[in-house]
Structures are given as C-alpha cells and as structure tokens.
Structure 1
C-alpha cells in the first residue's frame, strides 16, 4: 500500500507550503503569495522552501497614484499618501476593490459670499507651512470665488470701498499661497498638477480683478501691495487721447477708439512665482504680469538682467481656457532692447508674460575669517613678496567688506596689486630655480614699482576712460557694460598665464634637480616632495584663479563652487604652506618654547 507522507509526516513541506500525495511519493507547492526557491513542485530534502513574494517590488504603481504599497508575509495592502484618503472603505485596501486615493480638499461650500470666502482663505493661509493638498484646495476655492465677483449678483454694491476691500482680501490670500515659505508645498506636487494649479491661480486672480473693475461705474485706480506680489487696477474711458498706464518697469499702450465705453486694465506682479513655474531650461528668474482689456495693445516690460546671461527670451504663459493646461510660448512677443541694465520686451497680445534668463546677478554674502596673527618677520626676498601679497589681499577683502559703497576703484587697484605680487612671486621663484644672479636691492626696488605701480597705471587709465563704470546699483565692483570688467580680467588672465608657465618650469627644474643631486631618494618620494611644493605654489602664484576664468567662459554651479572654495581659502593656504610648514618658523618656535616644560616634548 502507498505510504501517505503528507499525513504520516508532520509539516513535511515546511512553512507556507501544501503537500500533495502521489503513488509512491509526494510533492510540495507554495501557498498563494509565496514562491518556491527552486522548482514549482519540490521536495524539501534538496533545501527548497517557500519564500514570500514582494508584490510591491514586482509591480510598480500596484496600488495606483498617490498611494503606498506595504508588503506582508504572503500578501500586501495599500494606504493613501499624506494629504490623500481612500475614496471608500477602510484605510487599508486592495487595488482590485475599486478604492482609489483622492485629495482631502477643504469644504468651502458654506462660504457662499465671495468676500467672506476670500477673507476666510486669507485667514487660514496666514500661518504658513501649508501642505500640497491645502494649496490645491485653496486655489480651487479661489477659482470658485472669482466667478462670483459682482457678476450677476445684485446684493453687492460696486462702490470703490467694496472693490478695494475685496481686492485686498484677494491679494492677501494669493500672496499667502505664493510666499517663498510655501515653495516646498508647490515642489512636492507632480509637474503637471503644479502647472495646472498655478495656471488656475493666475486665471482666478485675473478674472476676479477684471470683474471687480468692470463693476465700477466710475473711473478707478487702485494699487495693492503685499510681500510677494502687487496688483494695480485701472479703469478709464476709451475716448481718451492717451491710453497708457505703467507699473514698475511694465508699460501698456492701448490704441484710442472712436467710441464710448470704458476699458479695465489689471497689472499683477508676482515676485516669487518664477521658482514655482520654472521652464525646463531653468531660466533662473521670471517676472509675471497679466493684462486685461479690449482693442489693439502693445505691452512693454523692462526687467533688470545680467548682460552675460546665455539666453534671454520674451515668453508668455499660454494656456487653454477649458483645461487650464499651459506651456511657455514666444509668438507675439519680441525683444526690443537688451543691455546691461534691462531687457525690454514688446508683446502685441494679452498675456502673462515673463523675461526668462539663464543666469542672474548673485547676491553677495561676505564672510570674514581671521587666518593669521602678526609676528616678528623673517627677513628675506620671498617673505617680502609674501608680505605684500597678503597685504594686498587683506586690503582688497577689508575694503570689500566694510566700504563697498564708495571705493570700487580701490578694490580694482588692490586686487590688481595682489595679482601683480603673485606674478612677482612666480618671477622670483623662476630666477632662483634657473640660478640667475641678481642685485637684491635693485630687484626689491623694481618689485615695488611693478607690484604697486602697474596696477595704479591700469586703474588710472580705466578711471579716465570710464569712471562711470566703477560701481553698479547691485554690487560695489566694475560694471560689465561695454566690457569694462576686462580692465581687471585682462591683466589677471595675463598674470595667471605667466605664472602657469613659471609653475611648469619650476616643477620640472626641481624634479630634475632632486633626481640628479639626491639619487638615493626614491622616485616615489621625489614625486611626493614635488607635489607638496606644487600645492603650495598653486595658491601662492594665484593659479586657483583659473577657476574664475572657467566660470566666465562656462558658467556652471560647479565652477562657481570651485572658484569660491579655492579663493576663500587662498589666504589660509598661504599661511599654512609659507608659515606653519616653514622650517625657519618651526625652528623659531622651537627656540622660543624649548625651555617651557609642557611644550618641550611636543616640539622636540
């Protein structure tokens, strides 16, 4: 008779498996939710067992959008992400149950009057740190309220005071939603959802403001400002000879009409919306405006820019009124003028338009560190060069930090002086390495003439030809207009080139000299010794400033960081390589502290 192993042997197939008896044998299969580590039908004597199937890892988006999948032993379950809840049933659900995750939109239905709704939204959003779904919910509520503004409603008196109060509530509510503190909530949205929500917000503000303006029976002019936006509403007769209005750098010109009636114009400027609605090309900054009215118009906008920006486009946010899906477009807008202070765009249609740039002026934040202390100087030609190099760098940084508003010219001079002394350092090291015999006094005198005289000549010529280019409205430095900045970059690049050539000759000579004079030193030790010297020379000769040239030629975040880090620590590395690691300085410290018991052991 057949031996039924499945009944006679306890748990013969192990956990999560079912046993099936056959004539003279048996086989095991795994329960649902588990898979065999070997063949589908197996016996446990070969080490095969049943392991859990991680359904969440096998199938992407198993639970649907806005949900998370959680694996368990032999099964799994779904939950909704933050700000979302199941459409029906319990918090845990299966994807085949028909349940999906939907947003927790705020119920604003009880606010049936637009001013009450706007005031309520402004109050609820004033605390900051909104979630993504809260932002979406409030934008939906604003969209709902914009269609109610005085259109077909006889219970509201369209007086200037009522219009002003309602617009103030609208601006306050929208300002709270686009504050920089809410950028995290916007960036957590999917790109399509974010663009749709921003478009709905822009459209709601436009429609609400225009409806309020049209409800006024008298000419009106209101200007409402908040921390992140400004709204200007104007109404006037079409029969006027001159129909033009401005806000900041934006200007609108409307062709007069030989007919009665009025026109309503709305300007809206958003200061922080550029970070939310960036195009894929990463423009860096944008200025948005919206205009409403009738007839043929010309819109001009002037936005301060960096003249070195790689791309400057006049674009507008074009969207479908039905779906409120938008994209950047350029037709109907053109660049009229581009200079160092502004880009002027001209558009012949009603639009949310923007000046899109690939780069902008950086905010300069200065930090000062005390890197050295004054001690008794070591008398030599090299220390004289180092002392004057550090003095020029110190004066340049000191002036930049404390007196930036008045002395761009002195900054120009002392930075050039620093480069001049870097050049002198390279020349002096070259003379030492090649073995040139020179008169020390004569050389010192000429070093001073070149170190401080040549920068003075360059600055004097520059100031004579273009004194107006010293200092800008943004930074205390040379203007980029008419390439005036090259009065500094040109000499600096020339000195860097000279020092790089000197650096190459010096390293080659030192390496060859060490290899010939001290053959007992290994090739590896020779390379390591030269590398230490090369590191010191790179900072002393100003070779790290090549990162500035790279940043000018190819402006990227990497080159900006390399230039900032290398030159921020130039003074510190000069101090370390030329003072801390100097044998003469170490010997002097040894002599000074050798009789102090607590210091003798560490200095010995």
Structure 2
C-alpha cells in the first residue's frame, strides 16, 4: 500500500470519528449521562436548581429542555409578561391602583407582597377579622353603639348614625356646655333647673313630666310659653292715651291681653273675649286702615302715640305667634313678621320685604343680650300706604341748609324686634326704601323721634349707604319708624336762569353752525385765524349740543359718565383754541409776525392737550364723572377742568391787555384826525370782541361757588350761553370780507342779473382783503 492510500484512509477515519461524535451530542437543555445499563443517553437539565436564575419574588418552573419564570402573588414583572425567562418582579401597590378594593367604610394599607383592609372606627368586618382582603368576601358594616349597654346615660336618648352615635337630653335636662347633643362620657345630661338657676328669669323653675317649666311672678310673663324666661311686660303702654281709645278700640282689648300674660290678679278679666293672636292682628290692621283713611293722625302728638303703640302691639303679638311667622296685607298696611323659637339664640342674617321696603337684620341683634333672652326672637316690618301724607310737615329734628326744604319720598315703615333695648345697636340695620318720586335728588334717612316737639322726623343715628333715583339704602343704629326725605333746594331765579341757558344755547347752536359753514366752505377767507375760529366753533358746538341733550340724563350712570367726559373734553378744547386765538392776535398786533402756525401744531394744542388731561383724569378717578343731579364732574376732580381754565384765562388776560394797549396806540397814530367818539367806539368794539373771543367772561363762573351772587349768575349764564352768537357777530358780521361774501351769496339767489358785476366786485375786494388779513390788519 502506497503512502497516498494510507493518508486517504487516515483522513476518512478521522472524518468518521468526527461524524460519530457529533451525532452522539445532546440537544440544548439536555446532558449526556449513563443509565443503569451503562448506556449513554440525553437527560433534561433542571435549570430551576439555580435559585438566582429568575430573580427575587419569582417562581421558577422547569420544562423539558427549558424553563420559565412567574411572579409570586402581589408582584408583577415590569414588562407585563406573565411567563418570562429573565427579569425581576416588583411589588404591586393595590391601594393606589384600585382605590375601592377594600369597599366602603374601610381604609387600604399596602404591604409586601399583598395589602390589608381595616374598617373605620364605628364599623366592623363581616368576618370578624381585624384585617381582610377583597378576595375573602368581607365588608365593613356599621356598629350600633346604642345596642351596646347605655352609652348616653339615664337622662338622654341614644341615636345611632353610620360609624358613630349621638345623645340628646330628655325634656327638662340639658348640658352644662349648652350644646344640644353629645357623645362619649365627657358630659352627662342634668336637670336644667339645677344647671342654670336663672333659666326662668323672674320666676321659679320646676321639673315636670314634659321637662322644666317656669312660673312667673306678677308683672312678668313668658307669653304663655312655660319653658321661656320670665320677662317684664309693661302693660301701661296699652292704656288709653291721648283719646286714642276712641279711634283705636283695640287698645282696651290689648291691655286686657297684656294683664292676662302678666298674671295680674287685680284686673277683672270676666269680660274678655277669647280671640287668638291672628284675630288680634287682623283687627289691628283693620283699625289702622280706619285711622289712616281719616284725618285723625294730622296731629304730631297722635302720630307719636300711634307709632309707639304699633311697635308694642307687634312685639306682643309676635311673641305669641307660632313659627315661622306671618305675612298679611290690608287696605293701608303690609306686614311681614318672622318668628324663631329655641333655647339657643339664632345667629344668622335675615331679610324681610314688603312692596316698598326691605330690611336686612341680624337675628342675634333682634334677640337681645343672652342674659335677657326670653327663648324666642321676633322681627316685624310694617309698611303704611299713606302715612307719609300725615307726617310730611314735621321736620323739626333736621337742621336744613340754606334754601333747603324736605319732602317725604318713601313709604313710612315700622321695624320691631323682641329685643327691648334697641336705642343703640352694636350692629346697625340696613333698610332699603323705594322712592315715591324717582328723581335725581339728595335724599336723607330719618326716623320718627317722639322726644322732639312731641314728634318729628330726625336724622340722628341714620346715614345713607347708597342712593339712586329708584331707592335709598339707610343704615341706622336704633329701631323705630323710618322714612326717606328728598332734599329740595329753593334756588333763587332758577327758572329765569334755566330759560336763559336753554334759549341762549339753542340760539348759539344755530349761529355756531352758520359760523362753521362760513369758515370751512368760503375759501377766500381761509387763514390761520379762520382755522382757529373754525375749531373753536366746532368745540363749542359739540359742547353746547351735548349739554342740551344729556346734562340731566343721570338715570344711566355709564351714559352720564360718557356725557360728562365729552363735556370735559369739549370745553377744554374750546379754551385751548381760545388760547391759540389770543397768542395769534398777540403775534399779529404786537409782534407783527407774518408767519403762521402749522396746522399740526395747532391740532396738538387744541385737541391733544384736552385729550391728555381727560385721560389722566379718567385713569385717576373714573368715578368722578357724573353727579347725582348732573352729568358733570364731581368735586373730587373738578380742578382737572378749572385748573387748566384758570391758567388759560390768566394767559388770555395778559394777551388781552397788551393787545388792547397796542391797538389803542395804533388807533391814535394811524389816524390822528379821528374824533374822540370814533376812537372810543372803535376801541370799545375791539375790546368787547377780544373779551368775547378769548372767553374771559368765563371768569364769572368762578364766583358761582359763593352764595347769593345773583349778578354773577346772570352774567355767567348770559355770556356763556350766548358765546356762539357773539363769535358769529365778531368774526362774521364785523368782518367786511365775510359780509361781502354773504352779499355775494345772497345776490346769486336774489339778484341773478347782477351776478357778473358782483363776482367781479367781490374778487377784487377779496384779493385786497386777503392781503390785509395775512399781514395782520384789523377789519374793525
């Protein structure tokens, strides 16, 4: 055998050995082992023997040739897989993932690996276990504490609630703390007569089957409610006074009823009638109607007696009226009564309303001091339909201002509470009274004071919280009968001044409109001065128009504020253009400048300055626009108008004096042959023109702050309302060039055949006049 064949056989043998070794290897997850017969075979490998293979909180499960891992109960793989071969398991927070897992009345506490449920206090699990899980079919149910012994003691009744209980004392028993209920052993119910020795006031306390009751001494009463404190009741107020029993027979019956309540044995009640409090109330209103429909209450002394009696009657009837009270009406009265019974003083706010009045009051104040609390609280609001007619002249308790008078502008109402000490309240009551005449006037809150001249309206202790044309809100620190007075001011010569204002402004509007058309449409007269005249007329036209249309429209506050703002801006703009007029005249007459103001600069002064002033004023105090009587600035911001006006007036006076002095020199030097009369006439016309144009007559308005300045009032009203007319006369009629334009316009309509001549004549004169106007020549 050759060497080549040996090598071939050796290679084949090696290859056969490799194939046999590979075919004898076991698959993954198996290992070769010899069995009992010493034969080699593949056996499954148990990977779960390695405790760290799956990680913590896991369960490893071996399979044939492999394995898988699962989380223990209460744990979860972050990947969300149930079976996995690698990873870790984290605790599940069951209490966060399912907030109702423990059911109602139980709290959930997380644990590792699970959670536990514990019932709230007052509840127990149905299985009896302290802790449980939802898969144990357990829930929490209420523990009825009242069935376990006697947790409230002998003198109280136990009331079970979900998870707890409370105890209420039996009739005649109470707690020293004054609370109405309790739980636990901190307090126990005791006899009320022992707890509070003053519970009956001026009476003796006794314990009966239905609880405690009070026996009052003579002269004291608990108004038929045996558990209430005994309080003094003065029956003298129901005795016949000032002959009132003739017109008010119910007084006698009320006196009898009062004697019954006080237990006065000295009085004979054999002729009493068993009328209920409801019957007494109806009869009271019936007799009040009869009094109000007669002339009996025209006397102030009778009014005082009547109102005092009504207060006491309402207090007496309210004390024996059942909760929650009554609401009744009659021909001339309207009553709203609120009643609250209870051993605890009510501490809430309440509102009573009638057709024309509303009362806001604290029940705690109406009940009175705790030491004198009778066990009930009453509040009454009675409105009279026509009592204001009988009391409209009794104003002795009010000190009027000069030229001021009063008139009742609301229904008269009586406020009564069970608290008898209402002369000075710690917390004032609020009373809203509707106006009989809805007018924008000053109103005063008043009450009927019987101590002033046997009866009069007085404003002591009362103030106005809010007032508008529809109603007034009053705040008073005492109770009585109330009303609202409208303050009237008797202004001297008021009608004449108003007539002058309205007629003068109406005429001014017409002439201002003509002036605006003149300065804006006639091109031949246009110049710097006519531009100033034009915008001065526009500002005054807007101001006068808004003044006539909206100065008294105060019903709408927002609209009134807008009117006041427009007037503020328009009048300031008029003054600014007046100032520009003065400066321009000064430049023309004194400095003899041929240069003119730029239009943009004039607009910035004429309209920009007023806009800035009004904007600052609005931002500083927007509520200052609009008063109670007029749509104008109130006193808080009035100097945002008078300040600039005074400055402009001073500037114009300066320019006026210098200009007049300069004109006087020119009159004397230009034409020395003029006689003195002609000079005085020309000087006077020029001075008056300057005075009117520059608005110096507005200085008269500064004197309106003083009283009895009739002359100043007339001067200011006449010059102010007719300023538009004066502007038309001075700048249009006194101007030769404007008169020629007017003649030319009239000629076109009236004399058509002379049209060409007029046009030629006018063009020549206009050219000359234009030249003189630009150089500052005066036309007077």
TM-score, length-scaled by structure 1 = 0.53
Instruction: Answer yes or no: is the 8 Å Cα contact 1:469–1:479 preserved in 2.
Output: yes
Distance 1:231 1:241 in 2: 26
Distance 1:213 1:172 in 2: 21
Residue 510 of structure 2: aligned partner: 371
Q: 1:164 to 1:591 in 2, by over 3 A?
A: farther
Give the aligned partner of residue 727 of structure 2. Answer: 574
Q: Deviations over 1:141-172 (max 9, x none)?
A: 99888734676286998469947975995898
In structure 2, the residue matched to 1:439 is 595
1:281 matched to 2:401: yes
Question: Which residue matches 1:502?
Answer: 655
Mark the CA change 1:469 to 1:314 in structure 2 (over 3 Å): closer, same or farther: closer
Q: 2:421 aligns with which of 295, 298, 305?
A: 295
Please give the secondary structure, in 2, of the residue aligned with 1:371.
helix
Instruction: Name the structure 1 match of 2:454.
Output: 324
Counterpart CA distance in 1 for 2:331 and 2:641 is 41
Determine which structure has more spread, i.e. the larger CA radius of gyration: 2
Which residue number in structure 2 is paired with residue 452 of structure 1? Answer: 607
Deviation (angstroms), 1:434: 1.4
| RMSD, matched Cα | 5.6
Pairwise CA distance, 1:451: 0.7
Q: Which runs of 5+ in 1 are unaligned?
A: 1-140, 178-193, 305-310
- Whether contact under 8 Å (2:444, 2:459) holds in the other structure is no
Residue 427 of structure 1: CA displacement? 1.7
Give secondary structure in 2 for the equivalent of 1:484. coil
Equivalent of residue 380 in structure 1, options 520, 527, 536: 527
How many Å apart are 1:344 and its aligned residue? 7.1
Which residue of 1 is the match for residue 585 of structure 2? 429
Matches within 5 A, 1:338-349: 346-348=476-478
* 1:9-408 pair list within 5 angstroms: 147-148=248-249, 152=253, 158=278, 162=282, 166=286, 197=299, 204=306, 207=309, 211=313, 215=317, 217-218=321-322, 219-221=325-327, 233-237=336-340, 240-242=346-348, 254-257=365-368, 258-260=373-375, 263=378, 265-266=380-381, 277=395, 279-282=399-402, 283=404, 291-293=415-417, 294-296=420-422, 297-298=424-425, 299=428, 318-320=449-451, 324=454, 326=456, 330=460, 333=461, 346-348=476-478, 350=480, 369=506, 370-372=509-511, 373=514, 374-375=517-518, 376-377=521-522, 378-399=525-546, 401=549, 404=559, 407-408=562-563
Quote the Cα distance in structure 2 between the aligned partners of 1:499 and 1:534. Answer: 13
Q: How many residues align?
A: 424
Post-superposition shift, 1:557? 7.8
Establish whether residue 491 from structure 1 lines up as the match of residue 644 from structure 2: yes
Q: Which moved more, 1:159-168 or 1:531-540?
A: 159-168
Alpha-carbon spacing, 1:586–1:240, altered in 2? closer, same or farther (3 Å)? same
- Once the two structures are superposed, what CA deviation does each residue of 1:389-441 show, in whole Å capped at 9, x if it has no partner? 1111222344553794573444433332122112112222222331331422x
Hey, what's the Cα distance between the residues in 1 that align with 2:243 and 2:751? Answer: 78
Distance 1:518 1:499 in 2: 28
Q: Does 1:412 align with 2:523?
A: no
Aligned residue for 1:454, secondary structure, equals helix
The match for 1:87 is none
In the TM superposition, residue 447 of structure 1 has moved relative to its aligned partner by: 1.6
Structure 1 residues 575 and 586: alpha-carbon distance in aligned structure 2, compared to 1, 3 A threshold: same
Change (3 A) 1:470 1:406: closer
1:546-577 deviations in whole A, cap 9, x for unaligned?
A: 344333x3366846665444423222332233
The runs of 5 or more residues in structure 2 that have no matched partner are: 1-241, 255-272, 434-441, 551-557, 755-780
Counterparts of 1:571 and 1:591, CA distance in 2: 24
Q: CA deviation at 1:460?
A: 3.2
Q: Secondary structure at the match of 2:367?
A: coil
Q: Tell me the alpha carbon deviations over residues 240-296 of structure 1, each in whole angstroms, 9 at most, x when there is no partner.
A: 434765776975563523114554544669989778747453445577875445223
State how far apart, in whole Å, the 2-side matches of 1:149 and 1:512 are.
94
